[in-house]
Amino acid sequence: MAFFRTVTVAETTPAIAGSGVTLRAPQGSDHAEWAALRESSRAFLVPWEPTWPDDDLTRGAFRRRLKRYAEDARSDLAYAFLIFRSDDNALVGGLTLANIRRGVAQAGSIGYWVGAPFARNGYMTAAMRAFVPFCFGSLRLHRLEAACIPANSASTRLLEKTGFQREGYARSYLCINGIWQDHLLYARLRDDAG
């Protein structure tokens, strides 16, 4: 049992409505659209993500991914969401809260991606603005953390625009696209304005 956890999985996996976007847990029926968007956005995403496994976009890999997401949510370790444009329900990207630490930390790390056709249209900003209150409210976290490669100016702008503050610089922090990369470290506290 997670120390300080006072919510159930059923309470934490609703759809989340934002300005022009809806976030919801991935489902098996999302595979085709998810795989098509990820494949068409591969060149756009690869510089900012861990190396993709050879079978990453297959239905079997997606089923394994969904199983892991469900296990992580049941264990209060992580919560994954896909982001859909509200007017036509088009999949635009994904947002995940992972590495949840309960007890005295009450913290988690946010990761996100947006498909190339939808980048720089405000969808991720709207999703983050809807997601942060869910993390602090429904999940009762105290601190949200995010990291981005210094060259990723779009990610830096997103985090700063949504109330995250830069806290540091981590050398060789994450292995991205097969290379250990430095990252800027950001955080947002429950009591931060923005």
The yes-or-no verdict on residue 122 having pLDDT over 80 is yes
Count how many Cα atoms sit within 13 Å of the Cα of residue 44 in the half-sphere of its side chain: 15
Q: What's the whole-number mean pLDDT along residues 171-179?
A: 96
Q: What number of helices (H) and strands (E) belong to the chain?
A: 6, 8
Instruction: Examine the pLDDT at 7 and tell me if it is beyond 80.
Output: no
- Tell me the average pLDDT across 14-19: 92
**Between vectors from CA 21 to CA 118 and to CA 99, what angle results, nearest 5°?**
90
Q: Distance between CA atoms of 50 and 70, rounded to whole angstroms? A: 21
Rounded CA-CA distance 145/122 in Å is 21
> What pLDDT, on a 0 to 100 scale, did the predictor assign at position 193?
66
Q: What is the pLDDT of residue 33?
A: 98
What is the rounded CA–CA span in Å between residue 109 and residue 181?
Answer: 17
* % the chain with pLDDT above 70: 93
Tell me the pLDDT tens digit for each residue of 26-84.
Answer: 999 999 999 999 999 999 999 999 999 999 999 999 999 999 999 999 999 999 999 99
Go through 55-91 and write b for each residue having 16 or more CB atoms within 10 A of its CB, e for each that does not. Answer: eebeeebbeeebeebeebbeebbbbbbbbbbeeeeeb
Q: Quick one: pLDDT band at residue 192, thresholds 50, 70, 90?
A: confident
Q: How many CA atoms lie within 13 A of 7 on its CB side?
A: 20
Burial of 24 (0-12, 13-18, 19+ CB in 10 A): middle
Q: 101, 107 in Cβ contact below 8 A?
A: yes
Q: Is 93 helix (H, G, I), strand (E, B) or coil?
A: strand
- Which domains does the chain possess? 13-146 (3.40.630.30)
33 exposed, middle or buried (CB, 10 Å; 0-12, 13-18, 19+)? Answer: middle
Q: CA of 165: how far to CAs of 25, 27, 103, 131, 136, in Å? A: 27, 33, 23, 17, 16
- Burial (0-12, 13-18, 19+ Cβ within 10 Å), 155: buried
Phi, psi dihedral angles at 90 (to 5 degrees): -75, 135
pLDDT at position 10 is 40
